[in-house]
A and B are shown apart, each in its own frame.
Chain A
Amino acid sequence: MKRIGLFIIFLAVTFYNFGNLFSSTDSSRELNLFKEIRCLVCQSQTIHESNSELAEDIKLLIREKISEGKTDDEIKQFLVDKYGEWVLMTPRFNQYTYLLWGAPLIIFIIGFWFLSNKVRRFKENKE
């Protein structure tokens, strides 16, 4: 019985958060953008975490742009044009970052190749 109760709570929490993920109310859009933009004064913080004046100004600017009907990409592009690619906390996939994004896959393939070689040799030795 206790298990079923816990399971229901688990489902409820999961679906609640799942719903948040897809709802695109302005305040959640706003928050997602705030968490995505680097504060240039305190450089390892996002503007969401920072309370520096510049961060506050940029938050205000993002709110205005959202109410003007700009998309997230347009807003990000605006800030990238002013402050550079670095202002985004998650680097975008482009000609400078393909190695960065591809590295995990490359490392995985090398590891897989290495391991499968080992396993094959191990098997051969056994036989």
Chain B
Amino acid sequence: MKNKIIYFIPIVVTLFMCLFFFFSLSNDTSKLSSPIIGKKVPEFSLVSLFQNKENFNSSALYSKTPKIVNIFASWCVPCRAEHDVLMLLSKLEGVEIYGINYKDDPIKAKNFINELGNPYTNVGIDEQGRTGIDWGVYGIPESFIIHNGKVIYKHIGPIHISELDDTILPILKDLK
């Protein structure tokens, strides 16, 4: 009898594996957790998109008030969809959004902002995408919440209006 049981082990193991793989199917690998969360922001100094503004440096993010860094480009369709939400967010008290213009033509980026409005305190130009790599960017738009020069939260993809209430605003509130 004892020997018979042994023959069922492979069947049971296979069943467990089937279950495991079945549930793994619904894992969303497009949203990876980022290793830069909890770390200091990468060092950078980017020329501003606005003529009357100074370079956008990482030092601007070392501040007691939380900052949002949004990585965008004019060629990025979801960025366009997200822009209204950023406009709304920028109007809230004590919220400052900085932009990194990722692999874009500065002229097109300016048109993008002129057309849709400017939620950004400053925008740095990252034409080569090198600063983007330093931030671990792989699919824009990506947004980061920064506090005291430390990355607190990363949002991949466009921020939906519902996510503003559910995640972004509560985090900002906690930091204040």
Where the two chains meet, the residues of A that have a C-beta atom closer than 8 Å to any C-beta of B are: 40-41, 43, 53-54, 57-58, 61, 80-86
* Interface pair A57/B133, CB less than 8 Å apart: yes
* Interface pair A57/B32, CB less than 8 Å apart: no
* Interface pair B32/A40, CB less than 8 Å apart: yes
Cβ contacts under 8 Å, A86 to chain B: 32
Cβ contacts under 8 Å, A57 to chain B: 128-130, 132-133
How many residues of chain B have a CB within 8 Å of chain A?
Answer: 18
Cβ contacts under 8 Å, B103 to chain A: 53
Cβ contacts under 8 Å, A58 to chain B: 133
Other than the given A53-B103, A61-B133, A83-B34, 10 more pairs (CB < 8 A) read: A43-B29, A43-B30, A57-B128, A57-B132, A58-B133, A81-B35, A82-B36, A82-B135, A85-B35, A86-B32
Would you mind naming 9 contact pairs between A and B with Cβ atoms under 8 Å apart? A41-B138, A53-B103, A53-B129, A57-B132, A80-B35, A81-B36, A82-B36, A82-B135, A84-B136
Q: How far is the CA of A86 from the CA of B136 in the complex (A)?
A: 12
Which 4 pairs, one residue from A and one from B, show the smallest C-beta to C-beta distance?
A40-B138, A82-B136, A84-B35, A57-B129
Cβ contacts under 8 Å, B30 to chain A: 43
Interface residues of B in 32-67 (CB under 8 A from A): 32-36
Chain B interface secondary structure, helix, strand, loop or mixed? Answer: loop
A116 to B: closest C-beta gap in Å: 15
* Interface pair A84/B133, CB less than 8 Å apart: no
* Interface pair A84/B33, CB less than 8 Å apart: yes
Cβ contacts under 8 Å, A85 to chain B: 35
Closest residue to B129 on the A side, CB-wise? A57
CB contact under 8 A between A83 and B33, given known A57-B133, A61-B130: no
Cβ contacts under 8 Å, B34 to chain A: 83-84
Q: How far is the CA of A61 from the CA of B130 in the complex (A)?
A: 8
Cβ contacts under 8 Å, B129 to chain A: 53-54, 57
Interface: B139 (CB within 8 A): yes
CB contact under 8 A between A82 and B32, given known A41-B139, A57-B129: no
Q: How far is the CA of A84 from the CA of B33 in the complex (A)?
A: 8
Cβ contacts under 8 Å, A54 to chain B: 129, 138
